[in-house]
Each structure stands twice: as structure tokens, then as C-alpha cells.
Amino acid sequence: MTVRRLLIGAVAAAALLAGCADEEPKGGTDRDDVPATLLQREDLPEVEKVSTDDRSVLTRTNCAAMEGEYNLTITDSDDVSALYVLADGDQVRSSLQGPAQNQTTIDHTIDQVDAAITECLTADIPSGSFERIEGLPDGAVGFRTVQDTSEGPQTTERVYAPADDDTAVVVTVDHLGEGEPSVTAAELLPQAVQRAQG
């Protein structure tokens, strides 16, 4: 009788452990705990995966003048970003960031991005193209690059817009291969600003 109880207990414990093993660990790659101040799943075309990061993250471009853009993501605030992988393979990153370190307002950060974009428009681009995104709301700046990779052309669009004096909204869209992204950074910007402003 005692042996039988031990066996039943062992089987039950094994089943419980197996059930726990099937649960996705917290902090996995398909999270829906995206802060309300960032773009949400329902703002985008069909989403396959979501991940969050406690810092701003930028995709590299094909213009050397934009290398300084990475320095602008070093801030004194608690920045956050969400990466959405869409069903068609495109990626959308929604970020909030404070002023670059040692700056007092976000305007100066956006001015620096704008100056780098202007420099890139006349720079010698080694492969692909670089252009400014026109028609953005007042105070917003953005660019689009197409660069050659071993997997085909990669299109990157990124736009910046102030949400308030201390915070910038940053939306990035990455598309790999021929054709156009399924959604543009400019199309997503108004909703991103609205989310950031609550």
C-alpha cells in the first residue's frame, strides 16, 4: 500500500513538473507587456513576435554621418523600446528616449539628427541610397536608407518626433528584400506620438 502511494505521488509530481516546463518563461520573445506609451499590437499589421528592451536600440545605416546617432541614445532617463516582428518578416521598433546625455531638452537631440540627415543627403553613399522622409508633422524628422546586403536590399526608415520637452518618439521600420515595407514609419508616427502623450 505504501509503495503504491509513493508511485502515485511520484507520477503526480512528474506531471506537475511537465506542466510547468510547458509554460513560456517570463521575459520571452513573445511578450505582450509593452508599456502603454509605445505602439501596441493593434496599431500594426499582423504581429508574429514581440520583445521589449529597457533602452533605445537603433539599426545601423549606410551613411557615416549617422554614426553619431548612436551617441544620442545614451541618456539619463529610463528609455524603453518594443520590437515587433510582423507576419511578413518586416520589423517595427517603437521607442521613447530622453535627451542625449548632458542635454536639457529633446529639441537639441532632434536637431542633431536633422543635421546628420542633411549631411547624408550630399555624402558619398557606398551602396544603396539615403533620403529624407518628407511630409512629416512639424518638429519631426526622418530618413530612409536602402543598403545592399548578402540577403538582398535592406530598407530602413526611422522617424523622430517630440512627445514633450523631455521625450522623443522614435519609430523604425526594417524591410529585407525587394519591394516596400508593409507599413511605413511615417504612417505609424501619429499613433506613436498619441500613445506617448497618453
Residue 192 has what pLDDT? 98
Decide which of 22 and 94 is more confident: 94
Residue 5 has what pLDDT? 42
The mean pLDDT value of the chain amounts to 84
User: Is residue 160 within 8 Å of 135, Cβ to Cβ?
Assistant: no
Residue range 98-110: mean pLDDT, rounded: 88
Cβ neighbourhood burial of 128 (10 Å; 0-12, 13-18, 19+): middle
Decide which of 78 and 88 is more confident: 88
SS (H, E, C) 17-48: HHHHHHCCCCCCCECCCCCCCCCCHHHCCCEE
Residue 75 has what pLDDT? 83
pLDDT band, residue 55 (cuts 50/70/90): confident
Residue 50 has what pLDDT? 96
All domains in the chain, ordered by first residue: 29-197 (3.40.1000)
**E strand map for the chain:** 47-53, 80-86, 91-97, 129-132, 141-149, 152-164, 167-176
Decide which of 54 and 144 is more confident: 144
CA proximity to 116, closest of 97, 137, 142, 136: 142
Cβ neighbourhood burial of 134 (10 Å; 0-12, 13-18, 19+): exposed
Residue 6 has what pLDDT? 37
Convert the pLDDT of each residue in 151-187 to its tens digit.
Answer: 999 999 999 999 999 999 999 999 999 999 999 999 9
Percent of the chain exceeding pLDDT 70 equals 84
Decide which of 16 and 59 is more confident: 59
Residue 32 has what pLDDT? 63
Residue range 47-72: mean pLDDT, rounded: 87
Half-sphere exposure of 144 (CA within 13 A, CB side): 13
* Grid cell of 22 as nine digits: 510547458
Classify residue 166 by its DSSP letter.
T
Residues 6+ apart with CB under 8 A from 23: none
Convert the pLDDT of each residue in 1-38 to its tens digit.
Answer: 444 443 344 434 333 333 333 333 333 345 568 999 99
Decide which of 177 and 103 is more confident: 177
pTM summary value: 0.82
User: Is residue 95 within 8 Å of 69, Cβ to Cβ?
Assistant: no
Chain center to CA of 125: 24
User: Is residue 189 within 8 Å of 169, Cβ to Cβ?
Assistant: yes
